Amino acid sequence: MSLPSPTPAPGRHTPGPGPGEPPPHGPSSVPPRVLTVAGSDSGGGAGIQADLKAMLALGVHGMSVITAVTAQNSLGVQGYWELPAEAVRAQFRSVVDDIGVQAVKTGMLASIELVETVSDLLAGVDAPVVVDPVGVSKHGDALLAAEAVATVREKLLPVATLATPNLHEVTQLTGRTVEDEGGMLDAAKALLDLGPRWVLVKGGHLEGEAADLLYGGPGEEHWYRAPRYDNRHTHGTGCTLASAIAAGLAKGEPLPEAVASAKEYVTGAIAGGFALGAGIGPVDHAWRWR
């Protein structure tokens, strides 16, 4: 008597075609397209690398504009080198003018010139823009020149559909120190006054549950909560969350739903974070398939 085929575990895929074999359903339809404008992480845990991994995991086609190259590993950022504004502009125009985008995510922009360049480019894009206002790395290394913070406030945030600061970035942008969940709403209001359509204040640095607040003005307040995992390997969390939200928006999800699905994906990635090197390892972008 033949035995029934095993049922795949939830979240896992059955094996695909063998090497060199075409997919059984024929050519794929064009997936939603998402562009990340960010720095490269040589260790593969954050930045452009994390963005593209998250986009692939969530079923969209990721494209990239590299703004800076970092020498980075599990111990920290040993150095970074900005690309010329001309190179950033050329990458952006090359992708947007030919392929098109259905969402854009920004990360490390490094300098006043690059913040200004990217802000001007985004002002002409008819697609949602998720701004992750990267200021420092997971290890505390500066990834944005101090003099560029004002330019982020004045030029980048006003073109954002959503800004996704952590609590350190909230302080950098508003001067406010958030010490509990009660302070997150006031911080969100202060950030909204800087011009984005929505703000997601991430409370991951507080004690207790991992709580985030999405705020879009009176009557548009949404809280997202998840268990906190005892896992120090969380490199790339912010990049991954912003990219996951952008992926949801590109697929047509309303913003509150896109944040909810991104939060669920990132929570699983944090739970699956693994050790690399001698320091802080990355979240697991492929946790649903392992």
Catalytic residues: 202, 234, 236-239
SS (H, E, C) the chain: CCCCCCCCCCCCCCCCCCCCCCCCCCCCCCCCEEEEEEEEECCCCCHHHHHHHHHHHCCCEEEEEEEEEEEEECCEEEEEEECCHHHHHHHHHHHHHHCCCCEEEECCCECHHHHHHHHHHHCCCCCCEEECCCCECCCCCECECHHHHHHHHHHHHHHCCEECCEHHHHHHHHCCCCCCHHHHHHHHHHHHCCCCCEEEEECCCCCCCEEEEEECCCCCEEEEEECCCCCCCCECHHHHHHHHHHHHHHCCCCHHHHHHHHHHHHHHHHHCCCCCCCCCCECCCCHHHC
